[in-house]
Each structure stands twice: as C-alpha cells, then as structure tokens.
Structure 1
Amino acid sequence: MADVSVTGICKQFGTTRAVQDVNLEIANGAFVVLLGPTGAGKTTILRLIAGLERPDAGDVLINGQSVLGMTPAQRDVAMVFQQYSLYPHMTVRDNLAFPLRSPILKTPEPEISRRVQEVAEVLAIAHKLDNKATALSGGEMQRVSIGRALVRDPAIYLMDEPLSSLDAKLRADLRIELKRIHANLGATLLYVTHDQIEAMTMATQVGVLDEGRLVQFGPPREIYENPVSLYVAGRLGSPRINTLPASLFGGAPTRAATIGLRPEHIQQGEGKPAEVVRVEPLGDQTRLHLRLEGHDIVTLTDSHNELEAGDYLPIQPLNPLYFDAAGDRVV
C-alpha cells in the first residue's frame, strides 16, 4: 500500500473544466470517498491518478514519487469499474487469476492459486470458481470484478461507482463487504460515488466535489455536522437537510439568509405550530412531513407517536446551521 498525493491538478476537455486545482492527500490505509453529482469531476480524478488521463497542470505522487511519466501498469494501481469488465469465455477462476498472469507481475502459479482461493472465499464466490462468468448473477459478476482487483497487492485500489448498477440489497451487502475487506487488508482505497449512504458508511474521509473543485475534505461525521456551505450540507444526509428562510424562527445571525435544519435537529413540543401533512411509519422511527408558513419540513419522531395528517405540532430549531445569500456557512 502507499500514500497518494494529488497536487494542483487541472484537466479540461474542450471548454469544460472537469477538474480545477484539486489538492488531495490519501494516507496509507485510508478509505477515501469522492462524493458529488454527475459531472463533478470524480471519475476524471480517478483516471488522472490511474494514468488513463494526463493532467493539464499539477502532479500525482505515489509514495512521494511523481508518476506522470509512468504508464497505468507502472503506477501499480488496481481499478474497479462500474461495469463488470469480465472475460465472458473464462471461468471465474481464470478471470480472478488474469491480472496475476500479466508479464509484468510474473506471479508463480502456486501463488496465483492461493490468492485466487483466498479472495474467492472473502467474497463468498469460492463455490463459483469453475463457472463461466456468463453463468453468474449481476451481484456475483461484480464480486468477481472487485476480486480481480483484490488478488493483487497494488499501491492503491481505485473504484469507480462499482455498486451503482446493483439492486438495493446487494449494494448494502457489498458495502459491508468492502468495509470489512478494507479493515482486514489495511488497503488504501479511493472510491467515487454520488451515493451519500456509501460515503457515510464506508469512508474514513470524504471529499465533496462541486464542478471540478474539492470544496470540503474530512471525516464523514465532521462534514455532516459542520458543512462549509449549503451545497455540502445537501450532499450528506437522508432525509435531506431542510433549508428555510433564516427569518422563519427568529434569532438568526447577521448575514444569514438560510437556516439549515437536519431532520433530527428539530425540537418538537415547543415553538411555532406546524401542520402535519403526512406521516410515514418506517418501523424503528416515523418520518413526519410538516408545513410551516408555506414551507415544507421533514423531521423524525419515535415509532409510537399518534400524530395524523391535519394535526398541529409545535417545533423550533435545535443545533441549526446558517448560510449567507451565496450559500456559504455563517454559523
């Protein structure tokens, strides 16, 4: 494993600035997630580190050494793509072994067999080793795709939204699997996604991207609780943060234009009366959809409440976040 440093990288495609002066430090053994919507620059950064693209400016260093003059193979990175990228005519065993049989690695066959068996057991596909790739389910194919990266011992694993094409249950299962693998291997991972649940549950650090710029970087809890802007606050949290006029409850600081309230940061039983519009029982808790002076608000309550649509519930802010007219954090 290795430390990876990205310093001042920029990349432009035609008139589109895909990456703008990004600085990023990925410590040895970290699980870093780049989070942002389509077009934010996530995949471009991954490709710049892998050597599939060359930056217009800046540098990429692995273990303190610039790799700009190196091919992807020489950089010793392992990449997992959104699509499965398997050889359909090969068995699972041969798909997993393929990277180890490259002329560059020259791995002995006994070592290949050991690593393939080990990774197959970790990913719960050992019983499928002699199956053709075409005989697998979508979830199994993605496990093999991830396994092809894991059989190696690269400087860094680069993962480009590898779970986005799977159904909800498989995504949840593989999130747990990847976090466990990271803990067991002590691997360095850079993972890109637009899914905030993946970022919150897997990352040791999250980088939030906005139009090619890295706007905040830190532990997921820190970014959730102390976002630097309204944009960052909206990237993490489910249900999404409530954004309301800062004057709605009074007591807003100078320059504040918007108050941000996480659903769990709304005190119930005191304050202004809000109308209950809809009640959503979720088992362990209940989601309440409220309306206050024409503004929609979502909050959470316990599963045993007896509120119904049409009732009124007094509410007031608890640990609010304030933002100015440009969306930057005030308090």
Structure 2
Amino acid sequence: MYYLKIINLSVNENDLPYPSKTERNIFSMVNASIRKGEIFGILGPSGCGKTIFLKTIAGLIKPCEGQIFKDGVDITFLSPNKRKVAMVFQNIALYPHLKNIENIEFPYVLVHQTENIEREKLKEIAVMLHIDEEKILQKKPAFSSMGEKQRVAIGKALASNPDILLLDEPLSNIEEGLRNEIRHNLKKYLKAREITTLYVSHNQVEIGIFADNIAVMADGRFQQTGSYEELYNDPKTLFVSLYIGEIPSNYLDKNEVKFLTSSRISYFLTIRPEECSISKEEEDSILIAGKVTSIEKFIQHNKKLAMIEYNNKPFGILLPIDYDVNLGQEIEIYIPLKKAKFFDDKNAKIPERIYNLW
C-alpha cells in the first residue's frame, strides 16, 4: 500500500493566495504513488509548478480538483497543522527574532512541549547538519550565512518529527564539499526513520543520488516518473529526453530527420553525444557536418564535448579528451539510427516515444 497517494491533483491560478485573472492551470491531473520512507524527487524547469505542488501537499494551497491521501486517509482539505507535514522553503522561513537554536526548538513550543525537548535528538540533528557549534546556534538568522540558515531550517523541520518532509532546493546555498556530506547523512537519517520525503532540486546529479524515484514536471503535469537511470535510458516524452542528463541530448526535428533518411523516417529524433561517432561505425547511420563552435572538457570522465551548429542549433559529440579537434574545424558526425530515440507529435504539446522502428 502506498503511504502518500495523489490522485488527479489540479491547481488553478485562482487557487493561489494572490489569484490571477487568467484562470490558467498551474498543473492539472497530477498523479503520484509514494511508499512509506521513499524519497521522491521532482525535477522540472523554473515556473513549472514544483513549489506550488509541495505547498498543496502541505495544505498551504487548496486544489481545485483531485485528492491527497496519507496512509489511506483523505487529507486534501485538512488544515496544515494536522497533517504532520514539515516543509523547508526555498525562500528560507525562520523566525528572525529567535536564535537559531530557538528556531530549531520551536516545533516543541508550538505544541506546548518545551519541557519534553529531546536534547539528544536535536544534538544529533545539529551535528549532522554542521550547526552544532554554539556560535552558530546562538546567532539570529540575520547574522547567519545563507548556508547556515538553510541548515537551521532543515533542523527545525526534522525536530518536528514529521511523517512527511517537503524539501524545496534545501541544499542550494551550501558549499559543495559540505553539501555532499550533508546530503549523504540526511538521506541516511531519513531512511533510518522512514520519513517519506518529497525533494525538489534543479541539480540532476544531486537528485539522482538522493531520490529513489523522480517525477519530471513540465507543461502542467508529471511527464514521467521513475529512477534516474530509467529517465535517462528510457525517456517516454521528447521533453524528458532533452531535459534529463548532465550533458543534454542532441535534437533533430521531424523534417530534418525526413530529409536525412530520404523520407524513411519522419519523427523527432534525440541522441546522446556519447552515442554519436566521428566515423561511420554502424551501417544504418545518418551524417551531419559543421564547424566546431565550442569545446568543453570533462576532466573527471576523460572526455571532451565538441559542439557544431547544424541548421542554426547546437549539436554535440563526446570525444576522448586527447582527440585532436580545434575551434572552427569542419567535422562530420555520424548518428547511428539504432541508438537514437524517436518521438511522434500526434499529441502536439507532448511528443511521445515511438518504439520498435527496427
């Protein structure tokens, strides 16, 4: 049984605290099934509704349609303070008149349990988040760095013993090395206590490591849900194929594909730069050419990305780092059709994957 089940959830601009006259849907008919203790990631472009979705789960925004079930109970219109849901906002929400330690302890104040503050638990949380030094705990938010405030906000959320934790870009202001350590320890903490977590981030590497499953949100819906590997290797829509990946996929529109395949195929095409080749390695390949406009090195992978312009859009190939190629040099790129992914635009708004062309 799923612990958090979201059925046909829709939010209109008129459902927001500051409604618009356009009555545009922020998102519509969104569905998700999340198990107890699962970390569920949400990826998508800015403005697609990720934060509003979290606020709807928290009860801060009422949907115009759909239902939210927690452990089999309908909480769609339950007040926020009765949901046992904690949220860490991207725009950090701390009480400015309280010290950091008082902010962390505030969930106990809220339920009149100050005499029952779990000091050992709060110390564990503070150590995990690297905010256990007195000089950090005794400061007020105004005198804390953005990274410190972000960690205090996470600590405050964990101190409330939530059943569900909502994290909106929670580590974005924390320096790289410390962020990696906190991410690792936070995941371990959440898993040990089976805290069901929804995690929004723009960082694909981070969310790929942190989340069990990820929903890609765009055009007002979850376009695909799965592990990062599933999204990367088997995208179901054109958007997911182009959006997922540290190095973006290449793209040809259906008219370009029709021309390059002598009218054999007329679908949208995507292919990873690492799947292309500089020489013809497979018989059924198509060829494009152009001058190198940029070269980007990926030292950790011992590779470099050479970009050309084809029909006024970038197209890349991943090469060994010692491959001899220069800016302005004309190169040929072979696209093996069996490695490419194709998408049909019968649904014009969201072109979907076509399988079994061979």
Q: After TM superposition, is the score higher than 0.5? A: yes
Instruction: Give me the whole-angstrom Cα distance separating, in 2, the residues matched to 1:146 and 1:134.
Output: 17
Q: How does 1:137-286 map to 2 (within 5 A)?
A: 137-164=145-172, 175-244=183-252, 245-247=256-258, 250=261, 254-256=265-267, 258-270=268-280, 272=287, 274=289, 275-284=291-300, 285-286=303-304
1:320 corresponds to 2:348 = no
1:6 paired residue number? 6
TM-score (norm 1): 0.88
The 1:264/1:59 distance shift into structure 2, 3 A limit, reads same
**Is the Cα contact below 8 Å between 1:41 and 1:211 reproduced in 2?**
no
Instruction: Give me the whole-angstrom Cα distance separating, in 2, the residues matched to 1:176 and 1:247.
Output: 47
1:301 corresponds to 2:322 = no
Percent identity of paired positions between Structure 1 and Structure 2: 30
1:101-148 per-residue CA deviation (whole Å, 9 max, x = no partner) reads 2226x3643x43222211000111111223333332111110111111
Q: How many residues of Structure 1 are paired with residues of Structure 2 in the alignment?
A: 327
**Is the Cα contact below 8 Å between 1:97 and 1:112 reproduced in 2?**
no
1:268-302 per-residue CA deviation (whole Å, 9 max, x = no partner) reads 33264734333223323212112457653122222
Higher relative contact order (CA 8 A, sep 6+): 1
**Is the Cα contact below 8 Å between 2:251 and 2:269 reproduced in 1?**
yes
The 1:108/1:297 distance shift into structure 2, 3 A limit, reads same
Structure 2: runs of 5 or more not aligned: 15-22
The 1:16/1:113 distance shift into structure 2, 3 A limit, reads same
The 1:253/1:196 distance shift into structure 2, 3 A limit, reads farther
Instruction: Give me the whole-angstrom Cα distance separating, in 1, the residues matched to 2:321 and 2:191.
Output: 34
1:21 paired residue number? 29
1:47-88 per-residue CA deviation (whole Å, 9 max, x = no partner) reads 221111222222111111111342111110011001221223
Q: Which moved more, 1:52-61 or 1:283-292?
A: 283-292
Residue 260 of structure 1 and its aligned partner are, at CA, apart by: 0.3
1:114 paired residue number? 120
The 1:131/1:317 distance shift into structure 2, 3 A limit, reads same
**Is the Cα contact below 8 Å between 1:32 and 1:203 reproduced in 2?**
yes
TM-score (norm 2): 0.81
SS of 1:323 mapped into structure 2: strand
1:165-196 per-residue CA deviation (whole Å, 9 max, x = no partner) reads 56666665654454344344432111223443
Q: Which moved more, 1:30-39 or 1:241-250?
A: 241-250
Q: How does 1:25-104 map to 2 (within 5 A)?
A: 25-103=33-111
Instruction: Give me the whole-angstrom Cα distance separating, in 2, the residues matched to 1:11 and 1:84.
Output: 23
The 1:320/1:135 distance shift into structure 2, 3 A limit, reads same
The 1:95/1:264 distance shift into structure 2, 3 A limit, reads same
Corresponding letter in the other structure for 2:65: A
**Is the Cα contact below 8 Å between 1:6 and 1:59 reproduced in 2?**
yes
SS of 2:66 mapped into structure 1: strand
